[in-house]
Amino acid sequence: MYKYIHFLIALLFWSGTLKGQETREIIKELEKQQHELELRQIDLSSELEIYRLNKIREDLHAVGLPVLSEDVDDELVEHGAMILSYNERHEQANWVSHIIIPAVNKGNLPRTNDFRKDSLVKSGTAVKSDYWYSGFDRGHLAPSADFRWSPRAISESYVYSNISPQRPEFNREIWAKLESFVRKHVWVTNEQLIVVTGPIYDKGLETITQGPNVVSIPNRYFKLILDIEGDEKKAIAFLMPNASCKKPFITYATTIDEVEKLTGIDFFSNLPEDLQSKLESTYDFSKWEALKEGEIPTQNPLGLNDRPNNTLNSVEADLFVDKKACVCGVIVSTRKTSTGSVFFNFDSKFPNHTFSGSIWSDNVKNFTYEPEIEFLGKKICISGKIREYKGKPTMNVEHEKKVTFLDHNGRKLPK
């Protein structure tokens, strides 16, 4: 009898051990599959980046690269996502042509700030010591934020062939607003835009001479924007002084023809002649300005694995009214009022939102970017005191330090 009981106990123990071993094997197999999927995702991302970069260069050549007059220095240089014409005499580009693709809407790569010589320019480019302590910003012609979907492209945007000496009050204000405006158009239309940017080389330009190179300081810059993706093809150009500009940037809108007269450059020469004539001779700002409020589809509240520890999602925020907390979610809609305040909703659009944020006009100056542009579609966390407004939780954000951007896995992006 006792032997029989001992046998049953041993059998149960052995059975339990066997099941434990089976569970461990299942876990190992699933972990192996997960690892293989992660590796495959990395491979797919790299492959997709290559095809996107190739398509960008194909499309730039298709519309025709800018053609300079014969007496202008010109060394053509092709990077992954931008093509430029380098002018050795001025130690910067004559023009930089690139495309903002809809992938920028989901891109969340941070700035790399790896400013460096452009090894592809045979004559050599400017270097750090040419700009350092000069009083001028190293202004991007093709902005790095337009490439935040591609590690290669965003890094290449920091080569000095894509840099020009811009006054801080110009580069950080109206120029940045114009760049954000163009990206917002891609956000809303989900169609790519072709952009060509460059300086105007007026006679008698001042120069920076503190480094090994002599770098010209342009008095003006141009930016051309071409949309031939949609049913209604359109184009517009901007001419802006390298100075503090207090007027709205629409004040500086002009035609491509006007820029061609000033620069001697022929843009988009491969377009059909009738279309080229129509697009380059006129512009209608209302076609660019009449954009609906930025918004993306409703998102599910973030789970525990999709956000940092000790944070709340948009639904949980309702339980912590009048308490300080950190709330995370995807910004699905943004709005900037006529007085300059910014409002944004997490996960669901108004009036179905469960949590919202605001930045009052007096605090917008504490942001080095335009929140209504940069927040949209991003996974972010905001820190502060949760308040209740019209029965729903909300939070006022006073400084960009209170905002954290997350990657698609819920990890904090480096600042």
Residue-by-residue DSSP string for 48-89: HHHHHHHHHHHHHHHH---B--TTS--EEEE-SSEEEEEETT
Domain boundary among 289, 313, 345: 289
Do 120 and 188 sit in the same domain of this protein? yes
Q: Does pLDDT of 77 surpass 80?
A: yes
35: pLDDT strictly greater than 70: yes
Write the CATH number for 343: 2.40.50.140
Q: Is the pLDDT of residue 328 over 60?
A: yes
**Strand bridging mode 356-359 / 392-396:** parallel
pLDDT at 307 over 70: yes
For residue 345, is it within any domain? Answer: yes
**Residues 285 and 148 placed together within one structural domain of the fold:** yes
Report if residue 196 sits inside a domain. yes
Quick check: 5 pLDDT over 60? no
List, for residues 121-178, the tens digit of each pLDDT value.
Answer: 999 999 999 999 999 999 999 999 999 999 999 999 999 999 999 999 999 889 988 9
Give the model's confidence band at 15: pLDDT under 50 very low, under 70 low, under 90 confident, else very high.
Answer: low
In this prediction, residues 294-306 reach a mean pLDDT of: 80
Residues 317 and 169 reside in one and the same domain = no
Give yes or no: residues 204 and 146 share one domain. yes
Q: Identify whether residues 118 and 229 lie together within a single domain.
A: yes
Question: Is residue 308 located within the same domain as residue 252?
Answer: no
**CATH assignment at residue 119:** 3.40.570.10
**Which of 238, 260, 289 is the C-terminal boundary of a domain?**
289
To the nearest 5 percent, what fractions of the chain are helix, strand and coil?
35, 25, 40
pLDDT at position 292, please?
A: 46
Residue 2, in any domain of the structure: no
Give domain status of residue 391, yes or no. yes
Report the range of poorest mean pLDDT among 62-76, 200-214, 276-290.
276-290
Same domain, yes or no: 99 and 239: yes
pLDDT at 345: 93
**Separation in Å, CA 309 to CA 306, 313, 328, 381:** 9, 11, 11, 12
Strand 324-336 to strand 392-396: parallel, antiparallel, or no bridges (unpaired)? unpaired
Work out how many domains the chain is built from and give that number: 2
Cis preceding-peptide flag for 351 (omega within 30 of 0): yes
**Mean pLDDT, to the nearest integer, of 379-408?**
92
Instruction: Say yes or no: 284 and 327 in one domain.
Output: no
How high is the pLDDT of residue 302?
92
2 has a pLDDT exceeding 80: no
Q: How confident is the model at residue 13 (pLDDT cuts 50, 70, 90)?
A: low
Query: How far apart are alpha carbons 198 and 208 in whole angstroms?
Result: 18
Higher pLDDT, 382 or 340: 382
| Residue keyed to tokens 């169609």 | 191
Asked if pLDDT for residue 223 goes beyond 70, the answer is: yes
Q: What is the pLDDT of residue 343?
A: 94
Residue 38: inside a domain: no
Q: Is the confidence at residue 379, as pLDDT, over 70? A: yes
Quickly state the pLDDT bin for 415 (edges 50, 70, 90). low
198 and 345 fall within a common domain: no
Could you tell me if 160 and 277 lie in one domain?
A: yes
In a domain, 105, yes or no: yes
Residue 312 is predicted with a pLDDT of 94
Q: How confident is the model at residue 29 (pLDDT cuts 50, 70, 90)?
A: confident
**Percent of the chain, pLDDT > 90?**
63
User: Does the structure show a pLDDT above 80 at 408?
Assistant: no
Q: Give the Cα separation of 172 and 170 in Å (integer).
A: 6
Q: Note down the domain range covering 336.
A: 304-406
Residue 4 pLDDT > 70, yes or no? no
Establish if 212 belongs to a structural domain: yes
pLDDT for residue 106:
79
Q: Please check whether residues 363 and 228 belong to one and the same domain.
A: no
- Residue 17 in this model has a pLDDT that exceeds 80: no
Q: Flag whether 412 is in a domain.
A: no
262 CB burial (10 A radius; 0-12, 13-18, 19+): middle
Q: Which of 222, 257, 289 is the last residue of a domain?
A: 289
Q: Are residues 323 and 279 in the same domain?
A: no
Average pLDDT over residues 50-76: 92
Mean pLDDT computed over every residue of the chain: 89
The residue ranking higher by pLDDT, 28 or 414, is 28
pLDDT greater than 60 at residue 9: no
What pLDDT does 300 receive? 86
The mean pLDDT of 229-235, rounded to a whole number, is 88
Dihedral of CA 375/376/380/384: which sign? Answer: positive
